[in-house]
């Protein structure tokens, strides 16, 4: 057996139970593994376990670069696992559970060995039945939404209309034996046959099944395609019918609160009554077990059962990150009775009786408020359970642009606006049509009412799914994602830099909590710039508010995870990837494939650019988790070079604006943020799919950049959309301080190692060597000094790259000098301290960092990480 690596549970120890199986991704050094079928997963004792493997990416030589791996559900997960390439050994046939997928013209049926789900190919249901042990525990799972036609500011009325998701396509993406994935597509249609409304909210739902699992993972993504001025989403959820047969006192409601707490009730309660039904009866009900026959009860209670109210309906509403309320009622048109409230509910509930039950959990429930959980008709034979992703009790979703344009009807006025609020406004561009959102849910099938401890474990599994990952040391040996090394505190100087990296991450994690950066459209993002006068982030000042990936916080977080393996860093980066890839990018319409620059609203800026939608920010999560939804986002961008024909990203500041017109055979494409994004797109698609179009455009434009007289210093080249090539004849020098800070550094480092192109490497090294060179050195090399040189600390990594590649110790020393002296705000130790600001000077207690800025923090983090990897041995003492 050839042992490759240990893989560990990201949260430290193994979960007590792996009820749903797990999937992760891991890389392999070039030329070491020919195909994923050769991989074996073994437990800590070396025994092979049931697994499934598939390719995520290949190296140019055809060997396996990234693989997805999946394990079956198990009651006793191993403390760790080992992955070996030794022929793909599986446990003996019949000793491990399997996923079975069967198809007919009308339906797809998937069985895990524990549960079974039938999925109709068309119709209003995501699934028709979910059963366990032959008993249907839920049926008719469907998407529901509410559309409101207005938001009256004062007296007035608004009407709401109900919609249901209509499935139009079902695709089996994986068939087992360990993992099966079924993808459903559709859109919401009005419930009323006489409605004049069109269908809207196109969705993709994936259902994940693992061998032996008693739950199904559900990933729901939708695109908002309404008119922000007249369409107000007033509710979005998933509704399930739950059949019940047990006596009302044997029907059990379980709703998770905060900090592991649970509401534990029966539809008809038998405790606290004036008369005691008997200890055995009470204890059975409290335990969720079938109560003794009524004949064995105290007759004073059994004869009066009809006088005990049955609680038909329950609701938990989490309308903010800080509070939820629980209530119940006996029936519609009767008053609600308050149960309790709390802070942050886990987003889990279940409804069950002795013959079976159904539960649902929503990941990031309170973080993505407003959410809600509804149980209705629990006292009837057919109850319903609705997991609201957007609560109908909240203010309807208002996506209208936040100001009237302030008279900025010309480019000149808009550029003037940039000088005061840093907002790049343009009429009609603050439009949310085409943005998206993804939620993850877990659907649990129960054979009876579970023990409370088991339900608590299910709630935890739904909110924080168990995840395996390779160690930082192994990931580094596979030589993926360019220049980084695992955390190293071996010298005082290194330890000081590591402490500063930790400080910045911990500071931002604290700011998420202190500033309440939560909510349906906001969770996962951070703010751009701070206002020290008001002691707040500039949430209301134009382009200084939500960051939207400006200067690559996504990259900073992912490289921080790669080198540390910290679970808290992973989940911060995961939330940011989910947000920036969905909300900050357009998925349909005129700007499909483009992202929006930073703004008070995520979609508010008129700068719609590839530098935000770039796969450079998403590919980490895709490869580390094998997440199919992120794969969709990568696929959406394959033809993103088409966008330059419809929208010039530099239309307001183009020097040749009087003469330039988009021409499909001569499109102005910047060699920094634009080409860096295209290169990341083509590279990712090539290694994922082998697409020759992406390969040829990547290699062709690399060759063209190498052929330009001034290479990357040219700034912009003319791109032929049909040929996928640059005109290599342009001779000019134009440098921007933003060119390399949106993933260009990282993608070029990968490309130089991946593809042998000496002229491209020469051009990149020239750019890296000259950017922070002296004027005399620049003049000697290209005949003129370079202008537009800013962000010196960030660009120290360019000098570091050239120093490492050329073996130039002098240049390495200069890189560290530039790093130490060039940081606008993060070049002194006192910057890495906190100042506490307390009420009444602020709304809530908060911490400030003296020179905080997300631009600087992100680029400081990347500069430290890459400089240590490239020239760590030259770090001054």
Query: What is the per-residue pLDDT across 224-257, written as a single tens digit (0 to 9) for each?
Result: 999 999 999 999 999 999 999 999 999 999 999 9
Q: What is the pLDDT of residue 551?
A: 97
Q: What is the mean pLDDT of the chain?
A: 96
Nearest of 811, 804, 742, 809 to residue 770 by alpha carbon: 811
Tokens representing residue 748 in the block = 């070029």
When computed from its CA atoms, the radius of gyration of the chain, rounded to whole angstroms, is: 29
Which residues, in sequence order, are CB contacts of 222 under 8 Å at separation 6+? 201, 202, 203, 204, 236, 436, 437
Sign of CA dihedral 823, 824, 828, 832: negative
Cis peptide upstream of residue 177 (ω within 30 degrees of 0): yes
Please return the burial class of 863, using the count of CB atoms within 10 Å of its CB with bins 0-12, 13-18 and 19+. Answer: buried
Q: What share of the chain is helix, strand, coil (3-state, %, to 5)?
A: 30, 30, 45
Which residues, in sequence order, are CB contacts of 41 under 8 Å at separation 6+? 48, 49, 51, 69, 71, 81, 82, 83
Rounded CA separation 196/217 (Å):
35
Q: Specify the DSSP element, H or E, that contains 696.
A: helix 692-707
Confidence of residue 3 (pLDDT cuts 50, 70, 90): low
Phi, psi of 220 (to 5 degrees): -115, 125
Phi, psi of 473 (to 5 degrees): -65, -40
Would the pLDDT of 12 be above 80? yes
Would the pLDDT of 2 be above 70? no
Would the pLDDT of 1 be above 70? no
Rounded CA separation 16/32 (Å):
34
Phi, psi of 265 (to 5 degrees): -140, 160
Q: What is the pLDDT of residue 94?
A: 74
Distances, alpha carbon 357 to alpha carbons 132, 450, 588, in Å: 9, 9, 39
Tokens representing residue 330 in the block = 């006996």
Whole-model pTM?
0.97
Rounded CA separation 577/555 (Å):
10
Would the pLDDT of 800 be above 90? yes
Listing DSSP states for 123-156 in one string gives: BS-SEEEEEETTEEEEEEEEEEEEEES---SSS-
Instruction: List 803's β-bridge partners, or say none.
Output: none
Query: What is the per-residue pLDDT across 414-430, written as a single tens digit (0 to 9) for each?
Result: 999 999 999 999 999 99
Instruction: Tell me whether strands 107-111 and 135-148 are parallel, antiparallel or unpaired.
Output: unpaired
Q: What is the pLDDT of residue 87?
A: 85
**Do residues 440 and 219 lie in contact, with contact meaning Cβ atoms separated by under 8 Å?**
yes
Which residue's entry shows tokens 């020098």? 733
Query: What is the per-residue pLDDT across 675-706, written as a single tens digit (0 to 9) for each?
Result: 999 999 999 999 999 999 999 999 999 999 99
Phi-psi region of 119 (alpha: psi -120 to 50; beta: other; left: phi over 0): beta
Which residue's entry shows tokens 């446990």? 91
**Ordered alpha helix ranges (H), 783-874:** 792-806, 809-822, 854-871
Q: What is the pLDDT of residue 823?
A: 65
Rounded CA separation 542/523 (Å):
19
**Do residues 864 and 855 lie in contact, with contact meaning Cβ atoms separated by under 8 Å?**
no
Instruction: Tell me whether strands 725-726 and 835-837 are parallel, antiparallel or unpaired.
Output: unpaired
Average pLDDT, integer, range 176-194: 97
Query: What is the per-residue pLDDT across 630-676, written as a single tens digit (0 to 9) for each?
Result: 999 999 999 999 999 999 999 999 988 889 999 999 999 999 999 99
């Amino acid at each position: 057996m050839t042992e490759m690596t240990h893989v560990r549970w990201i949260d430290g120890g193994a979960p007590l139970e792996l009820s749903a199986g797990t999937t992760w991704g891991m890389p392999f050094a070039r030329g070491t593994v020919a195909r994923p079928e050769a991989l074996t997963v073994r437990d800590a004792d070396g025994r092979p376990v049931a697994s499934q493997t598939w390719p995520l990416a290949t190296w140019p030589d055809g060997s396996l670069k990234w693989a997805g791996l999946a394990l079956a559900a198990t009651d006793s997960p191993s403390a760790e696992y080992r992955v070996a390439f030794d022929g793909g050994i599986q446990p003996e046939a019949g000793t491990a559970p399997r996923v079975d997928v069967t198809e007919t013209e009308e339906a797809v049926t998937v069985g895990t060995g524990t549960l079974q789900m039938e999925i109709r190919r068309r119709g209003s249901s995501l699934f028709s039945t979910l059963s366990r042990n032959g008993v249907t525990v839920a049926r008719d799972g469907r998407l529901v939404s509410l559309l409101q036609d207005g938001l009256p500011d004062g007296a007035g009325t608004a009407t709401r209309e109900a919609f249901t998701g209509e499935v139009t396509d079902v695709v089996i993406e994986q068939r087992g034996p360990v993992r099966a994935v079924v993808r459903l597509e559709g859109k919401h249609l009005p419930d009323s046959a006489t409605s004049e409304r069109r269908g809207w909210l196109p969705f993709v739902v994936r259902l994940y099944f693992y061998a032996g699992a008693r739950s199904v993972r559900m990933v729901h993504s939708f695109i908002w395609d309404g008119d922000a001025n007249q369409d107000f989403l007033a509710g979005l959820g998933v509704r399930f019918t739950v059949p019940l047969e047990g006596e009302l006192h044997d029907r059990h409601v379980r709703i998770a609160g905060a900090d592991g707490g649970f509401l534990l009730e029966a539809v008809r309660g038998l405790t606290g009554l004036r008369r005691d039904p008997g200890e055995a009866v009470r204890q059975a009900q409290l335990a969720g077990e079938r109560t003794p026959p009524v004949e064995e009860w105290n007759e004073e209670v059994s004869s009066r059962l009809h006088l005990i109210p049955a609680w038909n309906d329950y609701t938990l509403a989490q309308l903010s990150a800080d509070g939820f309320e629980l209530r119940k009622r006996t029936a519609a048109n009767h008053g609600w009775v308050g149960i309790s409230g709390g802070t942050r509910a886990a987003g889990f509930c279940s409804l069950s009786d002795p013959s079976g039950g159904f539960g649902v959990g929503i990941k990031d429930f309170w973080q993505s408020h407003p959410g809600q959980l509804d149980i209705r008709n629990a006292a009837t034979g057919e109850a319903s359970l609705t997991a609201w992703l957007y609560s109908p009790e909240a203010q309807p979703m208002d996506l209208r642009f936040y100001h009237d344009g302030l008279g900025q009807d010309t480019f000149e006025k808009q550029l003037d606006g940039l000088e005061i609020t840093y907002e790049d406004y343009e009429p009609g561009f603050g439009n949310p049509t085409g943005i998206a959102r993804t939620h993850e849910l877990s659907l649990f099938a129960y054979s009876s009412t579970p023990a409370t401890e088991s339900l608590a474990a299910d709630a935890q599994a739904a909110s924080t799914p168990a995840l395996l990952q390779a160690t930082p040391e192994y990931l580094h040996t596979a030589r993926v994602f360019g220049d980084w090394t695992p955390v190293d505190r071996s010298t005082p100087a290194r330890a000081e830099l590591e402490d500063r990296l930790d400080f910045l991450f911990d500071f931002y994690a604290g700011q998420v909590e202190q500033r309440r950066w939560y909510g349906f459209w906001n969770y996962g993002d951070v703010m751009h710039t701070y206002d020290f006068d008001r002691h707040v982030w500039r949430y209301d000042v134009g382009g200084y508010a939500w960051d939207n990936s400006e200067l690559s916080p996504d990259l900073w977080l992912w490289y921080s995870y790669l080198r540390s393996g910290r679970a808290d860093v992973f989940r911060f980066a995961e939330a940011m990837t989910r947000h920036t890839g969905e909300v900050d990018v357009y998925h349909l319409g005129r700007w499909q494939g483009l992202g929006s620059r930073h703004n008070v609203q995520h979609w508010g800026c008129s700068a719609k650019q590839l530098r935000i939608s770039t796969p450079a920010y998403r590919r980490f999560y895709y490869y580390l988790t094998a997440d199919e939804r992120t794969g969709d986002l990568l696929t959406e961008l394959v033809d993103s070079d088409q966008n330059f024909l419809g929208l010039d990203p530099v239309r307001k500041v183009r020097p040749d604006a009087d003469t330039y017109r988009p021409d499909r055979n001569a499109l102005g494409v910047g060699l920094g943020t634009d080409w860096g994004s295209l290169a990341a797109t083509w590279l990712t698609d090539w290694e994922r799919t082998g697409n020759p179009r992406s390969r040829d455009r990547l290699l062709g434009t690399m060759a063209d950049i190498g052929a330009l007289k001034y290479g990357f210093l040219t700034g912009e080249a003319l791109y032929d959309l049909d040929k996928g090539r640059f005109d290599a004849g342009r001779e000019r020098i134009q440098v921007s301080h933003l060119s390399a800070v949106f993933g260009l550094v990282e993608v070029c480092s990968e490309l130089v190692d991946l593809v042998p192109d000496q002229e491209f490497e020469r051009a990149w090294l020239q750019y890296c060597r000259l950017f922070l060179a002296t004027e005399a050195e620049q003049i000697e090399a290209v005949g003129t000094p370079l202008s537009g040189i800013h962000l010196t600390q960030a660009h120290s990594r360019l000098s570091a790259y050239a120093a490492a590649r050329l073996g130039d110790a002098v240049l390495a020393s200069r890189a560290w000098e530039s790093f130490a002296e060039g940081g606008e705000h993060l070049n002194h130790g006192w910057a890495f301290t906190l100042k506490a600001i307390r009420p009444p000077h602020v709304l809530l207690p908060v911490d400030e960092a003296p020179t905080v800025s997300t631009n600087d923090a992100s680029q400081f983090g990347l500069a430290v990480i890459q400089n240590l990897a490239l020239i760590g041995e030259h770090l001054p003492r």
